[in-house]
Chain A
Amino acid sequence: MSDDSAAGAEADLPEGVERRTFGGRERLSTRGAQVYGEPVDAEGWRAWDAGRSKLGAMLELGMDTGLVGDESVLYLGAASGTTVSHVADFAGPTYAVEFAPRPVRDLVGVAEDRTNLFPLLKDARDPESYAHVVESGIDCLVMDVATRGQATVAVRNRQFLADDGRLLMAVKARSEDVTAEPDDVFDDVVAELESAYEILDTARLDRFHADHLGIVARPK
């Protein structure tokens, strides 16, 4: 378990995620096979670059994700596996959905180095196309699809989540509407999410990702 006093006001990191020193700087890290040229220390911990990962940024900013380690995860918008590789390092069964073929080719390579990562070339807007593979009662639904209708996708995929599960979502304002003010976009997304989820926490990820909002929610 993490050391409460050291963590201070910040939420505990999940088991399997540690702050370690790389090149003189404290960074998040997980232990597993290297994926994108990230620094790896002598004990096999690899730095988790919050600038390349919205979930990494949410943890780095101290959001209470509810992650403890070893949970089952459904990850939507896995791309070539940068973030989901870290997730699979500390989580249990990890289902990674991505609909673009090119990144999935790389994602398969990432999954080949791990025993608990299951790549799925599927469209997150059509959950029935993977409901025969992904188990029910998922502990954590991570979403980073950066596409129009992000809230709708979250609502449609709620059926996979356990009642006490968590939705961890990164919303990209520009994906919804390039002309609107990010705050207005975020308000709309949150309003739509509230039809199916109770919002526990939101935070701007701007320090790492411009015009992105991080959301932690649980099913209603």
Chain B
Amino acid sequence: MTDAWFAGADPDDPESGATRVRTGRASAPADWPAEAVDAGFAADDTDYYAKLRSATLAAASEAVAERERADDVQLAHAVRAMDDAERTANELAERVVEWAGTLYEDVPRGLDGVRDIAARDPKTAAEERVVSYATRAVDLLDERDDLRAFIEERAPTTAPNLAEMAGPVLAARLIALAGGLESLAKKPSGTVQVLGAEDALFAHLKGRATSPKHGVIFTHEYVRGTRPQDRGSAARALAGKLSIAARIDHYSGDYRPDLHDELADRMATIRARADEEADE
């Protein structure tokens, strides 16, 4: 019995060798080229190295794709955690500002107020509590910023085209809403267009509302920055290209500059309508 990568692999099928390269182990190396020739796996050294080459190339490509795919799960958790941190920080901030308003004269509103309070020097037991509470909220805000930085660093490697097109945070949100990069890649672009608008979609299906034109992609400048009557077209164009970006990221991982140029052209056409009408 041998632990060699080619043991049990089909000499004519690089895929079976690739699986063995990825999952096999041995306690020590051996003269594998000679063993392979003896075992009849390869005709000679040259043939052996050619087979080894196909198997290692296939194994490395598959392993890379798999590992990078697993990164999408990390992105999805990170963006959800970022939203939790932000929402909770806002909740704490409300309490802090309200409470601090009973102790201090000049409390700025919102998150600024929280940072302001956290930096103060408490003089009484009550002040000590409110300053301490504000400090927790500030920590949470810092955590949110760290999570955002993590997403901004990771998204471009996990999904280069999606991250470029949507921006890292929206890319992570789309991945999270779809349940992973693979499921995002498999969704029709009409679904991508309304991801995050599930409530509105449900109401529409129940006959209680018009169909939603966009979900989270509304936060994208291409949609938000387009005049209301053209937003439907903008959302459709963006969602179409985002779906293609997700597919390229999932299946090949190459960065495709032309995809981004095409979308920019399409958006320019849509936005030109407003100028044309203004000219008329």
Q: Which positions in A face B, CB cutoff 8 Å?
A: 93, 101-102, 104-105, 107-108, 111-112, 115-121, 128-129, 131-137, 159-160
Among residues 1 to 39 in chain B, which have CB atoms less than 8 Å away from a CB atom of chain A? 3-5, 20-21, 24-33
What is the predominant secondary structure among interface residues of chain A facing chain B? Answer: mixed
State whether A135 touches B31 (Cβ < 8 A).
Answer: yes
List A contacts of B253 (CB < 8 A): 105
State whether A101 touches B67 (Cβ < 8 A).
Answer: yes
State whether B64 touches A104 (Cβ < 8 A).
Answer: yes
State whether A101 touches B28 (Cβ < 8 A).
Answer: no
Among B53-61, B85-93, B104-112, B134-142, the one that faces the other chain is B53-61
CA distance A105 to B63 in the complex (A): 10
State whether A131 touches B57 (Cβ < 8 A).
Answer: no
Q: What are 19 A-B pairs with beta-carbon distances under 8 A?
A: A101-B67, A102-B68, A105-B68, A107-B60, A115-B49, A116-B49, A119-B60, A121-B60, A128-B25, A132-B3, A132-B5, A133-B5, A133-B21, A133-B32, A134-B29, A134-B32, A135-B29, A135-B33, A159-B28
Tell me the minimal C-beta distance from B39 to chain A in angstroms: 14
Indicate the size class of the contact surface on chain B.
Answer: 20 to 34
What is the predominant secondary structure among interface residues of chain B facing chain A? Answer: helix
The answer to the question of B157 belonging to the interface, with a C-beta cut-off of 8 Å to chain A, is yes
List A contacts of B53 (CB < 8 A): 111, 115-118
Which B residue's beta carbon lies closest to that of A103?
B64
List B contacts of A128 (CB < 8 A): 25-27
Among residues 148 to 194 in chain B, which have CB atoms less than 8 Å away from a CB atom of chain A? 157
CA distance A102 to B21 in the complex (A): 19
State whether A101 touches B68 (Cβ < 8 A).
Answer: yes
State whether A108 touches B27 (Cβ < 8 A).
Answer: no
State whether A136 touches B25 (Cβ < 8 A).
Answer: no
Knowing that A111-B56, A136-B31 touch, tell me 6 more A-B residue pairs with CB under 8 angstroms. Answer: A105-B61, A112-B57, A131-B26, A131-B28, A132-B20, A133-B21
State whether B57 touches A108 (Cβ < 8 A).
Answer: yes
The answer to the question of B96 belonging to the interface, with a C-beta cut-off of 8 Å to chain A, is no
CA distance A50 to B5 in the complex (A): 35
List A contacts of B26 (CB < 8 A): 128, 131-132
Find A133's partner among B50, B52, B68, B157 (CB 8 Å cutoff): B52
State whether A101 touches B63 (Cβ < 8 A).
Answer: yes
List A contacts of B60 (CB < 8 A): 104, 107-108, 111, 119-121
Tell me the minimal C-beta distance from B63 to chain A in angstroms: 4
State whether B49 touches A135 (Cβ < 8 A).
Answer: no
Find B30's partner among A118, A119, A135 (CB 8 Å cutoff): A135
CA distance A104 to B32 in the complex (A): 24
Tell me the minimal C-beta distance from B225 to chain A in angstroms: 33
Tell me the minimal C-beta distance from A123 to chain B in angstroms: 12
CA distance A108 to B67 in the complex (A): 15
State whether B29 touches A102 (Cβ < 8 A).
Answer: no
State whether A108 touches B64 (Cβ < 8 A).
Answer: yes
Tell me the minimal C-beta distance from B263 to chain A in angstroms: 24
CA distance A137 to B33 in the complex (A): 11
State whether B31 touches A137 (Cβ < 8 A).
Answer: yes
List B contacts of A112 (CB < 8 A): 57
List B contacts of A116 (CB < 8 A): 49, 53
CA distance A35 to B64 in the complex (A): 20
